[in-house]
Structure 1
Amino acid sequence: MCTVVTKSPPEIVRPSEPVTTTAATSKVIFSPLDRPLAIVPIVVLQVFEHPIHEPVETIRRGLSRALVHYYPLAGRLAGDDYDDVHIDCTGEGVTFVAANADCTVKELVRDIDCRSPDAAKAVIRELIVDYPANGFGRADPLVLMQVTAFACGGFVVGVTWNHGAADGFGIAQFLQAVGELARGLPTPAVTPVRWDGWAQAVAPSTVMASKRFMFGVKAPTRLALHSITIPARTIDGVRGATACTMFEAVAAALWRCRTRVVMSDPDAPTVLAITVNSRKHVGVKDGYYGNCATVHMAVARSGAVAGGDMTEAVRAIRRAKEEIPERLKKGDVIGELSKEQLGGYESVLLVTCWRNIGFEAVDYGGGRTARVMTTYEQGRVRPMCVVCLPWQGEEEEGARVLSGCVTPHHADAFLREIATL
């Protein structure tokens, strides 16, 4: 089928009441973890199957009320250079688009799942507000939201946000607040915090290492996008053997499949990079919604990952996670890895997980999120995989993954490896 989406012109939603700021609260100085991401757009789409009364108006009202508590998100980027970038809390508001679609949400999801990833991406783009291809500028709103109502009464909330203003955990916390206020609660359940001295005190070496990892590589001109599923039987088998988490089992499977395809020297190191919510390690206050995720590395010989049991890969991942507090304390998240080892297409895979970070808990009045999806632009990221929240009931099939981790040259071989799991 062909999903047809009709959009209304964009409007600006401002805080529902005036926000009084002081000299200390009129701007948010970006932390060392915020600054590298100051113009980066990130997209999340939340699918809701059950109807609510007037979803567009209900969510618009909740958004306006939430911006009173999260007033920095209604501001604008400012600052003349990288070291000075910050948010001016101007209260100018965020972009909001109302839309309608001519199908049901289940038909939409089926439509997306049955298409090639590139074709599915075109459908997803209809469910979000257009955003600058080169990232956010100083005059751009920090949040762009589209609410699309479907023929069945279900709806999709598509949000694009400036990564410098909040990380995934932070924007999920904000969307939970939008949902709480849309449902009529007087205040958000979590009191938001956007300034915290702990975040400002992150070791410079940690920031430089993460920045070098994220942006110090020339990614292939084209990576093949795939929507894949790591089977539940594989996940259960690995978890039964190692008592690991679902994410660790999925990451190990992806790491092995990709290593078998792209690496030929069994003695060369292969690196699995994972993003970690470091709030509890860094010690920021409860409710902090700025960037507090760091990248950490599991390293092994490619031959061990490609030819060994997956439990060995899991153990490497678990060792890396156990070292996180000490590495953050020392400011040594990359360790002895060289620029060459981190810079190549073959040697590094980044895996991040969007399950259990808060998107699944958002409720605008008809129940929690039924599915979480995302998309990303070619050439903006390293070879990576995003583990997403599946449609309700799909957990029995396994873990759904948006993969952009191999070039077209390696795509068929990679999919064959996935098929053997």
Structure 2
Amino acid sequence: MAQPNTSLVFTVRRRPTELVAPAKPTPRELKLMSDIDDQEGLRFQIPVIQFYRNDPSMGGRDPVEVIREALAQTLVFYYPFAGRLREGPARKLMVDCTAEGVAFIGADADVTLEEFGDALQPPFPCLEELLFDAPGCGGVLNCPLLVIQVTRLRCGGFIFALRLNHTMSDAAGLVQFMEAVGEMARGARAPSMPPVWQRELLCARDPPRVTCTHREYDEVPDTKGTIIPLDEMAHRSFFFGPAEVAALRRCRTLALQPDPEEEVRVLCIVNARSKFNPPLPVGYYGNGFAFPVALSTAGKICRNPLGYALELVMKAKADVTEEYMRSLADLMVIRGRPHFTVVRTYLVSDVTRAGFSEVDFGWGKPAYGGPAKGGVGAIPGVASFYIPFKNKKGENGIVVPICLPAAAMERFVMELESMLMDDDRKVTNLTSTTFITSAL
């Protein structure tokens, strides 16, 4: 598979940012967020990007106009997205359903999809041009909850890029909304899956009581400078077949070279919708996940085989139950909605089954669909996504964006190659199956 075109430079001409409001009148009301939604660690905007090829059957239809109109129609059903987030007593978040609209930008780029190269994967060149940081749209409170930019390409394809206020939805909820826009763009009059708000289902009990252990919210001092400044980080993406993915967590610890006695942790995002009895309603588009944590010392992670780390992760994921989620909501109220621990922490989010690659606005499925970059919020190096990917040979695998200090990135590549060889993985040359992009 070819390397991505990391030297690609192009010009984007943007129209002025506009607000797209619901196409029909919607209720004016205040809607409380859940106590899972409004935790500190979700108060940021998460970027998503979708690349679409030209489709001659669309008869020259303009994707900017099609998606803008479909968005207005979809907001009739998902009208909270057209409102603004407010903060009440005890930092409680709520949506003021004002129908002001979501930010929308139409644009043109003097580049073709082919010029991006065969390896469409993060980090993408000129991302800041494809998802413009429009004035007044970059915050959490009192600003648009969605920013969408649709950029036409010279080849007839287009790029759909979006920033979501993460307190509103998780990946499953966002894909549900995007699929609704796609249905409306293809001629539907209503989403096939009606949206469900019901955020009270994940609100704290009265009185709140923490009944489970939540080490993912430990207060850990950064005594040894493990939080690395953003400008010192290297961003690269790696392609793996399923057999090699398990090596990533351990290699990252080896590459960072922490003190062997320091406690390190992996946070695993677990979709908890099915953990409830009955399950959360079909159509629920709020945040319905937890960050269970696997803990060990760095020394044990490095000395033990991969199975040791895998067992810790599996146990952590199994801890997520309905009672765990109730306890988590209660913890948020009792402790003032804390941020998850970031010191000596690696967060892994598997979006292979989220459905980004299925979103169709009428031009078919995307050539790439999913996170626009690695990382979580303003904290560099904390998170990676597992993104489904098919290489030029038709082999299914996973692309994983990794963000590490530059020196650690080089050690990461060496450790990963060594580990895969030692474990008799079916990899004869790491460089032939790993596609590395340059630093952002």
2:11 to 4, 12, 35: 4
Secondary structure of 1:331's match?
helix
- CA 1:258–1:357 in structure 2 vs 1: closer, same or farther (change >3 Å)? same
**Cα deviations by residue, 1:46-74 (Å, 9 ceiling, x for unpaired):** 11224342111111111111000000000
CA shift for structure 1 position 385 = 1.3
Match runs of 1:101-116 below 5 Å: 101-109=109-117
Answer whether contact 2:32 2:199 (CA < 8 A) is retained: no
Amino acid at match of 2:250: R
Secondary structure of 2:399's match?
strand
Match runs of 1:84-99 below 5 Å: 84-99=92-107
Relative contact order higher in (CA < 8 Å, ≥ 6 apart): 2
Answer whether contact 2:268 2:292 (CA < 8 A) is retained: yes
- Report the counterpart of residue 275 of structure 1 in structure 2: 269
Secondary structure of 1:389's match?
strand
CA RMSD of aligned residues (A): 3.3
Distance, in Å, in 2 between the alignment partners of 1:230 and 1:74 is: 37
- Report the counterpart of residue 405 of structure 2 in structure 1: 407
Match runs of 1:20-419 below 5 Å: 20-21=27-28, 26-37=29-40, 39-51=43-55, 52=58, 53-109=61-117, 120=123, 123-130=126-133, 135-201=138-204, 205=210, 209=214, 212=217, 219-222=227-230, 224-232=233-241, 235-236=242-243, 250=245, 252-263=246-257, 266=260, 268-282=262-276, 283-325=279-321, 328=324, 331=327, 345=343, 347-372=344-369, 373-375=371-373, 376=375, 379-381=378-380, 383-390=382-389, 393=392, 396=395, 398-404=397-403, 406-419=404-417
Distance, in Å, in 1 between the alignment partners of 2:101 and 2:212 is: 30
**Cα deviations by residue, 1:13-62 (Å, 9 ceiling, x for unpaired):** 111111245xxxx1210111111256411110011224342111111111
- How many residue pairs get aligned? The number is 388
- Of Structure 1 and Structure 2, the greater helix share is in 1
Q: Could you tell which deviates more after superposition, 349-358 or 217-226?
A: 217-226
Distance, in Å, in 2 between the alignment partners of 1:145 and 1:231 is: 30
- CA 1:290–1:397 in structure 2 vs 1: closer, same or farther (change >3 Å)? closer
Distance, in Å, in 2 between the alignment partners of 1:169 and 1:210 is: 25
CA shift for structure 1 position 382 = 5.7
TM-score by length of 1: 0.81
**Cα deviations by residue, 1:185-215 (Å, 9 ceiling, x for unpaired):** 1211111012233211376649995883699
**Cα deviations by residue, 1:79-133 (Å, 9 ceiling, x for unpaired):** 34553421111111111111112222232255976xxx7xx55611111131579
Which blocks of at least 5 consecutive residues in structure 1 are unaligned?
237-248, 334-341
CA shift for structure 1 position 408 = 2.9
- CA 1:36–1:264 in structure 2 vs 1: closer, same or farther (change >3 Å)? closer
Amino acid at match of 2:63: P
Distance, in Å, in 2 between the alignment partners of 1:281 and 1:140 is: 33
CA shift for structure 1 position 308 = 3.3
Distance, in Å, in 1 between the alignment partners of 2:392 and 2:118 is: 14
CA shift for structure 1 position 410 = 1.8
Answer whether contact 1:371 1:389 (CA < 8 A) is retained: no
Amino acid at match of 1:201: A
